[in-house]
Amino acid sequence: MSRIRPYRPSDRAAMYEICTRTADAGADATGILSDDSLWGDLFAVPYVERHPDLAWVVETDDERVIGYIVATDDTEAFATWFRDEWWPTLQERYPRPAEATTREERMIEHGYSQAPGRNPHAAEYPAHLHIDLLPETQGQGLGRALIETLFAELTRRGVPALHLGMDPNNTGAAAFYERLGMAPLPAEPGGQQYGVRFS
Q: Are the CB atoms for 196 and 162 separated by under 8 Å?
A: yes
User: 66's torsion region: left (phi>0), alpha (psi -120 to 50) or beta?
Assistant: alpha
Q: What's the CA gap between 159 and 5, in Å, rounded? A: 22
Q: What is the pLDDT of residues 83-119, one digit of tens each?
A: 999 999 999 999 999 999 999 999 999 999 999 999 9
Closest CA to 71 of 129, 5, 11: 129
Identify the band that residue 190 occupies on the pLDDT scale cut at 50, 70 and 90. Answer: confident
Specify the pLDDT at position 137.
Answer: 86
What CATH fold (topology level) applies to the domain 3-197? Answer: Aminopeptidase (3.40.630)
List phi, psi (to 5°) of 110: -60, -40
Split at pLDDT 50, 70, 90, the class of 187 is: very high
pTM over cut 0.85: yes
